[in-house]
Amino acid sequence: MEITAVLMLPLLLLAISGILFIYQEVSRLWSKSAVQNKVVVITDAISGLGKECSRLFHAGGARLVLCGKNWEKLEILYDALLSVADPSKTFTPKLVLLDLSDISCVQDVAKEILDCYGCVDILINNASMKVKGPAQNISLELDKKIMDINYFGPITLTKALLPNMISRRTGQIVLVSNIQGKFGIPLRTAYAASKHAIQGFFDCLRAEVEEFEVVVSTVNPTFIRSYHTYTETGNWEASIWKFFFRKFTYGVHPVEIAEEVMRIIRRKKQEVFIANPIPKAAIYIRTFFPEFFFAVVACGVKEKLNVPEDR
């Protein structure tokens, strides 16, 4: 009896581990099947997240259209994808030169994208520009450039490809945004403004296209960190702001976000936040206790923290 009791716990843990492993494998295969043979357009495919999405979707059998503003880097990505995937189970990616800061060319690029396969099943709006600094130090020209890349560029491309989805009554548009589309933090005026704007656009669009069976999804990480691990420097003193911001600044790895994008497409989810509990709580604090939130944010400006940039 005692031996049986002793063995129960290890056997139970082993069984749970086995079930979790099977679930993860089934979920991974199911996610890949959701994009198999689908035409997937990825903007800024040469960024860290763009590369991971490209790798994941290519392995899943998607017909990729990779967009970026640097042709040489697109070709490097193209070669990398072909070298690691089974050519009998994948499609050769199409490359399209796209610079969202040049709004005048987006319509022509959209036509080029549609000419690749004749349709678009999934559009992943991943391109973004970041900037950090006091509002008075950011020129109006830079404000406009950020709005072009983070707002006008993506919505122009979306509007150009949307009629194809509506006419076919199928499609999904994924916006990779940022948690700052929900609230702003110091020294990010232009960036946060652009993220608020595009969040509002896609929230409205989601309701407008639902009757056409077009899904609109938004992914909101805190920020997308680089491949190297961020390590803190300096001494952190005890304060509400420093505790809040220390938790806020741990970003999400591109691999994790790419996998979440794949899950969102499979599940057709509308909105996902990828963050630790502190930034998620900040959204609700901003909504229900705005004065407290603004006081904490103001302390951050006074202490002049040096934090990593957002995507």
DSSP string, 191-244: HHHHHHHHHHHHHHHHHHHGGGTEEEEEEEES-B--SSPP---SPPPP-HHHHH
- Whether residue 159 contacts residue 201, with contact meaning beta carbons closer than 8 Å, is answered with no
Running DSSP on this structure, what letter comes out for residue 252?
A: B
* Of 100, 99, 49, residue with least CA distance to 77: 49
Q: Can you tell me the distance from the alpha carbon of 34 to that of 170, in angstroms, rounded to the nearest whole number?
A: 13
Catalytic residue among 23, 78, 191, 284: 191
Q: Can you tell me the distance from the alpha carbon of 276 to that of 288, in angstroms, rounded to the nearest whole number?
A: 19
User: Element (H or E) spanning 297, and its range?
Assistant: helix 290-303
Q: Is 230 a catalytic residue?
A: no
Q: Looking at the DSSP assignment, which residues form a beta bridge with residue 215?
A: 172
- Strands 63-68, 122-125: pairing kind: unpaired
- Point out the residues that are catalytic: 191
